[in-house]
């Protein structure tokens, strides 16, 4: 049985087939599309023709049966995706809040730049517009509590009230008050939900052997470890570090043709682009926190490699270490033997 992993519709069918002992190969849409191109098929007219095309692919290519992730891995995958959606929603609301403040009290951001913090949300929920802050007393504003042991304070209250009385903003009224309050309430709720999700991720990683070992690598936090488990399942399943790097898309798109031999090129457009973006900050942390990776990065820079190129190669090196840890099932040590990734 050959399935194409389109959206989420294949999951229940694949699980049912595997539970009954029937081999099921799960392919990406790119694999089936490339098979069509290889067979010079230009159109896919209906569902029956698509099914026949998958059947021909299975007969000719004999793809390996899929192994479904365990329960903990599947839960981590769903949590990471849910967390990403919440982070995106939070970013949208913060940008919306920036726009509203530009219209109602632009001077606010000169004193509190980060609008998603508990301090900013507490003040804006109580006094959404410049008119509200200007009409408030310093004592009342200073006593606003944004944590168990934190208040706004007299100094910040005075620094906010003074420009509020002379603001250049021309917009005010109940509509803006309501929108700013709603944005603050949503951000406060989603911040709490993100903390809850992070706690759930940490708890699941405690019971996940590979995920727990990944957090022992410097630079790989709980969220990055959970994302690696969610996106890669088990990195040890890849036959080599090069195969893992190719799956993620850490492969330069060099094209040598005749006398043309370019020395630099971007990355190939295929691969896990979202995972590459998510691993960029952990790689920066790992380069600064891990002496072995820092030495590798410095050696590349000493050989004249640009900073970004050196970081990409360091990420390939880090992925090789991640594969080694999951394959050997023991904590990472720079002295562990690992395959080359060059």
What is residue 121's predicted lDDT score, i.e. its pLDDT? Answer: 93
Predicted structure pTM score: 0.78
Domain that holds residue 62: 2-68
Which H helix or E strand runs over 186?
Answer: helix 174-206
The verdict on residue 261 lying in a domain is no
- Please give the span between the terminal C-alpha atoms of the chain, in angstroms, as a whole number: 37
> For residue 341, is pLDDT > 60?
no
Pair (95, 190) in one structural domain: yes
Q: Of 204, 231, 259, at which residue does a domain stop?
A: 204
The pLDDT tens digits for 44-85 are 656 666 677 777 777 777 777 767 777 888 899 899 999 999
> Which residue is it, tokens 């990055």?
224
- Residues 242 and 291 reside in one and the same domain: yes
3-state secondary structure of 145: strand
Beta bridge partners of 260: 257
Total of domains in the chain? 3
> Distance (Å, rounded) from C-alpha 295 to C-alpha 286?
11
- Structure confidence by residue, pLDDT tens digits, 314-336: 999 999 999 999 998 888 877 66
Which residues on adjacent β-strands are paired with residue 145?
Answer: 151
* Most confident among 4-8, 38-42, 152-156 (mean pLDDT): 152-156
Query: Would you say residue 336 lies in a domain?
Result: no
The region that residue 136 occupies, defined by phi over 0 for left and psi between -120 and 50 for alpha, beta otherwise, is: beta
In a domain, 158, yes or no: yes
Q: Are residues 225 and 288 in the same domain?
A: yes
238, 308: one domain: yes
Question: Is 333 a member of any domain?
Answer: no
Instruction: Give the mean pLDDT of 148-170.
Output: 91
Which pLDDT does position 342 carry in this prediction? Answer: 45
59 and 173 together in one domain = no
Residue 63 and residue 133 in one domain: no
- Domain check: are 166 and 154 in the same one? yes
């Amino acid at each position: 049985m050959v399935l194409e992993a389109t959206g989420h519709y294949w999951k229940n069918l694949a699980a049912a087939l595997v539970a009954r002992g029937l081999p099921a190969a799960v392919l990406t849409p790119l694999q089936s599309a490339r098979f069509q191109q290889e067979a010079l098929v230009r159109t896919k007219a209906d569902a029956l023709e698509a099914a026949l095309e998958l059947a021909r692919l299975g007969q000719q290519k004999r793809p390996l049966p899929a192994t479904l992730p365990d329960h903990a891995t599947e839960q981590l995958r769903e949590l990471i995706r849910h967390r990403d959606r919440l982070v995106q929603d939070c970013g949208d609301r913060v940008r919306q809040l920036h726009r509203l403040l530009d219209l109602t009290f632009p001077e606010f951001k000169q004193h509190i730049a980060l609008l998603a913090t508990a301090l900013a949300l507490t003040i804006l929920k109580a006094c959404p517009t410049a008119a509200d802050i200007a009409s408030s007393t310093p004592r009342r504003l200073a006593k606003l509590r944004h944590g168990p042991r934190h208040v706004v304070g007299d100094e910040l209250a005075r620094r906010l009230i003074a420009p509020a009385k002379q603001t250049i903003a021309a917009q005010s009224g109940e509509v803006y008050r309501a929108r700013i309050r709603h944005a603050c309430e949503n951000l406060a709720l989603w911040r709490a939900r993100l903390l809850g999700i992070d706690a759930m991720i940490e708890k699941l990683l405690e019971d996940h052997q590979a995920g727990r070992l990944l957090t022992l690598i410097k630079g790989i936090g709980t969220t990055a470890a959970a994302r690696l488990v969610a996106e890669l399942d088990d990195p040890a399943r890849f036959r080599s570090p090069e195969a893992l790097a190719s799956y993620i898309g850490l492969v330069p798109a060099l094209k040598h043709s005749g006398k043309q031999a370019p020395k630099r090129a971007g990355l190939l457009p295929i691969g896990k682009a979202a995972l590459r973006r998510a691993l960029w900050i952990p790689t920066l942390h790992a380069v600064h926190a891990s002496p072995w990776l820092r030495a590798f990065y410095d050696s590349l820079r000493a050989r004249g490699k640009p900073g970004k190129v050196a970081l990409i190669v360091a990420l390939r090196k880090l992925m090789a270490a991640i594969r080694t840890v999951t394959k050997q099932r023991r904590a990472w040590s720079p002295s562990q033997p690992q395959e080359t990734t060059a």
